[in-house]
Amino acid sequence: MYTYSKEHKLYLKRIKKEKRIVILFQVLIIISFLVLWQILSDKNIINSFLSSSPTKVFNTIIDLFKDGSLFKHINVTLYEVIFSFIVSSIIGLIISTILWLKPIISRIIDPYLTVLNSLPKVALGPLIIIWVGASTNSIIFMSLLISTFITIINIYTSFLNTNSSYITLLKSLKANKRQIFFKVILPNNYYNIINALKINISMNLIGVIMGELLVSKKGLGYLIMYGSQTFNINLVLTSVVILSIISYLLYFIITKLEKNQEKRLL
């Protein structure tokens, strides 16, 4: 049976201690922000009508829960985000693979990728509604426009930056490009792909909310638009808080997948 050395045990203990300290300070920062926000609101240092307060946000969440609309709006936004995330990630990985396998295609479309990625997607909103229709499809299309191109660029760039020594070694062993891709490029860029997915999920969330602000009659983006139109700041900030929680949970899931893979490798 394998036993850890004393130095290894001390190292693991230090790592766990640092992890607890990080989590503690993360929680303290959130609590301190909420407490300060509430105090400033109660003391009328800030205008609670314009900036709301944690208690008002909490009460708004309770009201949405009681009238049955809370999870309806959350589910709509989650579906749109997860669907567009899966589609954009698959498209991004496939196109990045094609670009690496076929450099001539990369040279042809590289400027177009740059231009399409830099286009102001919000300005295309009216056109998207005309092309796709004022429906969930236009929201997902908007999200795909925002996330797909940056995913392609991030993953493809990481493929290009793979250690050339590994590639040279396989070439000396007469490996073809397909073998090099699956034996070197893909395994060595696992963490880069995960990082691209972390960026992608945030881009998808931004795209979905932008789309919901334009056309949706349900979802958290719709609540933000409705709240701003009726000057209901509590509803606006409640939606923003829920979005922040969703964003963190989605990011946490991807990070968890990354850590699980690390454990398997170890």
> Which tokens belong to 88?
């954009």
Can you give the pLDDT at residue 262?
59
Q: For residue range 4-22, list pLDDT tens digits in order.
A: 666 766 777 788 888 889 8
Q: Does domain 48-265 have CATH number 1.10.3720.10?
A: yes
Can you give the pLDDT at residue 44?
85
Q: For residue range 25-68, list pLDDT tens digits in order.
A: 989 999 999 999 999 988 888 887 888 889 999 999 999 999 88
Can you give the pLDDT at residue 264?
61
Please, is 174 exposed, middle or buried when counting C-beta atoms within 10 Å of its C-beta (0-12, 13-18, 19+)? exposed
pLDDT of 125 higher than 90: no
Q: What is the CA radius of gyration of the chain?
A: 23
pLDDT of 261 higher than 70: no
> Which tokens belong to 183?
């034996």
Question: DSSP H helical segments within 102-176, as ranges?
Answer: 103-118, 125-132, 136-160, 164-172
Inter-residue contact 151 to 92 (CB < 8 Å)? yes
Number of Cβ within 10 Å of residue 251's Cβ equals: 15
Q: For residue range 74-122, list pLDDT tens digits in order.
A: 999 999 999 999 999 999 999 999 999 998 999 999 888 888 888 887 7
In which element (H, E) is residue 90 found? helix 70-101
Residue 49's nearest CA partner among 224, 229, 239, 235 is: 235
Domain spans in the chain, listed from the N-terminal domain onward: 48-265
Least confident of 89-103, 149-163, 168-182: 168-182
pLDDT of 227 higher than 60: yes
Can you give the pLDDT at residue 254?
84
Supply the pTM of this predicted model. Answer: 0.84
Where residue 1 falls among pLDDT bands split at 50, 70, 90? very low
Cα distances (Å, whole numbers) of residue 150 to 112, 119, 125, 128, 129: 12, 12, 19, 19, 22
C-alpha span between 33 and 180 (Å, rounded): 50
